[in-house]
Amino acid sequence: MSMHLRWRKTVNLVMLSLTGLCTVLTVSILLLILGYLVWNGGRSLTWAFFTQLPKSPGEAGGGMAHAILGTAQLIGIAAAIGLPVGFIAGVYLAEFGGTTFPFVIRYTADLLNGVPSIVIGIFAYIVIVLPVKHFSAWAGGFALSLMLIPIVVRATEQFLRSVPLSLREGSLALGASQWRTVLSVVIPASIRGIATGMILGVARIAGETAPLLFTSFGNNFWSSSLNQPTASLPVMIFNYAISPYDDWHRQAWAAGLVLLGLVLTANIATRLILLRGSSTQRG
Amino acid sequence: MASAAVPAESTVRPVSLWRRVWKGDSIAHLVTFLFAASILLITLLLIYQLFTHATLARQKFGWGFFTSQAWDHGNDVYGALPFIYGTCLTSLIALIIAVPIGVGSAIFLSELAPSKLAGPLTFMIELLAAVPSVIYGLLAIFTLVPLMRTVVEPALKSVLGFTPLFSGPIYGVGYLSAAMILAIMTFPFIISVSREALLDVPREQREAALALGATRWEATWDAVVPFAKLGIFGSIFLGLARALGETMAVTMVIGNDPAVHASLFASGYTIASVIANEFAEAGSDIFLHSLVMLGLVLFLLTIIINAAARLLILLTTRRGTAR
């Protein structure tokens, strides 16, 4: 019996430490990724990176100023389409919907969220690039907006639903119409959460590469209009990382650091906003 | 304030259009409905466009498309087998690596770690999910691939080299490297969803097992984990769907060889990466349609698995009570 007990205790100890080990492993991967990227990227990051255009292949120096602007343009287009559509559709799901149709929309949004980004790229290529026969920022931004919409829909619906029913009833009892209640009471009460959902959504699409490969494509110069092929940081990282030039690898690291900095800042900032919000509401 | 004075007047004066709009819930309803419906429309359009832009490939190759290994731009003959094989193989190996480690971490974070430790650790792991996939690819090219070439794959070869899986020349890039980076990318999904499922298990479940004299591990493994089983499976399916559709990181390390190889060290190709590499250069219509056909296959594969994952997660979270 005591042999058996000792065995059970040993199994207990071994398995519990194994689960701890798993956690250490996964967390250390994150730290390694961050550390390696910061070290390599920090070494490579220069002022020229932010201000200059790329040099010709193999030539040292140059930067990715055009890709930084391009990424901003693409995000701008995606946000201009994706945020309003996602937000208003989310309002419908939370406030105006019945039972059947919202279920269908919710399911569709989930489905769209699960579509591989490369397939979204194919779709944007078919509906925008094929008819006009050239790559453009519009096509890339459209592809990104399709990835943004389902994220914003779900965030909006979730945070609107978390507003207490009594707030709505109070407003309706005062004689306000339903849409007036939604606009002046429900949305302001949940705007902080919705905004963080939107920021996270934008941060997520900022790093997307696959849908841009054959929609906004790439460009080594300033693009003069949104109707032209447009460079973006993620696509530049991809092209530079698989190139044979050391200097391009160096720049890929720098771009990776900038991109990761952007994404992680957004994630950590929204987390802090949400934490502070919940504690002030409780207090 | 103004509305208090209105009712008396409004009975005599016809209701203006502005007032009807101002009071018009039906209009707000209609507008928001249209936006919501646009999501449905665009998704249907996506499916329709994928379907119609793959017609040439369907007509020319039929079901043979899925069993053919041809990928010949010169003669415009295309087959999907190497890509489907590569996609399924890399995702499968990735799950074999990621599931035990992911579920182990989830158990640690939900059952053992004090909440002061578990909160920050979970947040850090969730940050892993936010890292763009091209950055995983960048890191994989310069850290994982050399590591696989010089350490991991030679070691595997010396121990298991007698099997066809672990024989053949070692390049560093290939199925195994792609599977490794996929495993790292699926960790966060498996961990955070499994952890949610485990946290949903009622506290009594643990206490009853401990009160009967079970060790901490026995209580966890025999009483808590079975309760959260469906949710854990859901997390695995979610990770699988993510791994199947993952493009950039895999494209950067798989080696891009459109052929079927038994050896895990060999270069291969996946559906997503062949689309990423060749779509922009698709010259002929039949080539384009073949690539769209591959996209359609990937689309159907991921939505089926996603639907299964959501169903499983829904089933557990509905059953759980305590948080």
B1 interaction partners in chain A (CB closer than 8 Å): none
Determine contact: A35 vs chain B, CB below 8 A.
no
**DSSP assigned state of A134:** S
Is the residue at A179 inside a domain?
A: yes
A1 pLDDT band, cuts 50/70/90, is low
What residues in B contact A185, CB-CB < 8 Å? none
Q: Check residue A222 and give its pLDDT.
A: 84
Residue A52 inside a domain? The answer is no
pLDDT digits (tens, 9 = 90+) for A109-150: 988 998 999 999 999 999 999 999 889 999 999 999 999 999
Q: What domain count does chain A have?
A: 1
- What part of A 154-213 touches B (C-beta under 8 Å)? 175, 177-179, 182, 200, 203-204, 206-210, 213
CATH code of the domain containing B139: 1.10.3720.10
Question: What number is the ipTM of this complex?
Answer: 0.90
Average pLDDT, chain A: 89
Given an 8 Å threshold on Cβ–Cβ distance, is A26 in contact with B191?
yes
The minimal CB distance from B49 to the residues A12, A111, A127 is found for A127
Q: Looking at beta carbons, which residues of chain B come within 8 Å of A20?
A: 108, 112
Average pLDDT over residues A208-213: 93
CB atoms within 10 A of CB A5: 11
**Which range of residues forms the domain containing residue B176?**
80-319
* List of chain A residues whose C-beta atoms are within 8 Å of the C-beta of residue B32: 88-89, 91-92, 95-96
Interface of B with A in 131-170 (CB under 8 A): 131-139, 141-143
Q: Does B243 touch chain A (CB under 8 A)?
A: no
Task: Identify the pLDDT of residue B20.
Answer: 58
Partner-chain residue, chosen from B39, B276, B307, that has the shortest CB–CB distance to A149: B39
Q: What pLDDT does residue B23 have?
A: 63
Identify the segments of chain B with pLDDT beneath 50. Answer: 1-12, 320-323
Is B37 among the domain residues?
A: no
Give the pLDDT of residue B10. Answer: 44
Whether B171 has its CB under 8 Å from any CB of chain A: the answer is no
Share of chain A above pLDDT 90, in %: 60
**Digit-coded pLDDT (tens) for B44-87:** 999 999 999 999 999 999 899 999 998 988 888 899 999 999 99
Taking residues A194-209, report their average pLDDT.
93
Q: In which domain, by residue range, is A125 found?
A: 62-282
**The predicted structure's pLDDT at residue A77:** 96
Residue A183, token pair as written in the block: 């606009």
Contact B36 A267 (CB under 8 A): no
- Interchain CB contact of B99 with A (< 8 Å): no
Nearest to A122 among B137, B218, B292 (CB): B292
The 3-state DSSP class for residue A240 equals helix
What is the pLDDT confidence band of residue A241, given thresholds at 50, 70 and 90? very high
**3-state helix/strand/coil string of chain B:** CHHHHHHHHHCCCCCCHHHHHHCCHHHHHHHHHHHHHHHHHHHHHHHHHHHHCCHHHHHHHHHHHHCCCCEECCCCEECCHHHHHHHHHHHHHHHHHHHHHHHHHHHHHHHHCCHHHHHHHHHHHHHHHHCCHHHHHHHHHHHHHHHHHHHHHHHHHHHHCCCHHHCCCCCCCCHHHHHHHHHHHHHHHHHHHHHHHHHCCCHHHHHHHHHCCCCHHHHHHHHHCCCCHHHHHHHHHHHHHHHHHCCHHHHHHCCCCCCCCCCCCCCCCCHHHHHHHHHHHCCCHHHHHHHHHHHHHHHHHHHHHHHHHHHHHHHHHHHCCCC
Residue A240 is assigned to a structural domain of this protein: yes
On whether any CB of chain A is under 8 Å from the CB of B23, the answer is yes
For residue B7, the model assigns a pLDDT of 47
> Helix, strand, or coil here: A13?
helix
**Residue A155 resides in a domain:** yes
pLDDT of residue B86: 95
Write out residues 52-81 of A within 8 Å (CB-CB) of B: none
Residue B222 belongs to a domain? yes
pLDDT at A51 over 70: yes
Does residue B20 lie in a domain region?
no
What is the torsion angle, in degrees rounded to the nearest 10, for the CA atoms of residue A95, residue A96, residue A101 and residue A106? -30
Amino acid at A95: E
Which has the higher per-residue pLDDT, A34 or B253?
A: B253
Number of Cβ pairs < 8 A linking chain A and chain B:
253
Q: Is residue B260 part of a domain?
A: yes
Res. A76 pLDDT band, cuts 50 70 90? very high
Q: Does A118 touch chain B (CB under 8 A)?
A: yes
* pLDDT > 50? residue A209: yes
- Structural domain contains residue B259: yes
Instruction: CATH number of the domain at A213, please.
Output: 1.10.3720.10
Asked if the C-beta of B73 comes within 8 angstroms of chain A's C-beta atoms, the answer is no
Give the model confidence (pLDDT) of B298-315 as tens digits.
999 998 998 888 888 777
> What residues in A contact B246, CB-CB < 8 Å?
116
Note whether residue A109 is domain-resident: yes
| Mean pLDDT for the stretch of residues A236-264 | 92
Residue at A221 is within a domain: yes
pLDDT at B90: 96
Predicted confidence at residue B6, as pLDDT, reads 45
Between B137, B241, B275, which is nearest A118 by CB?
A: B275
Whether B7 and chain A come into contact, CB under 8 Å, resolves to no
Averaged pLDDT for residues A98-113: 88
How many distinct structural domains can be found in chain B? 1
Instruction: Confirm whether B27 is domain-assigned.
Output: no
**A118-138 exposure pattern, b = at least 16 Cβ within 10 A, e = fewer:** bbbbbbbbbbbbeeeeebbbb
The answer to whether residue A271 sits within a structural domain is: yes
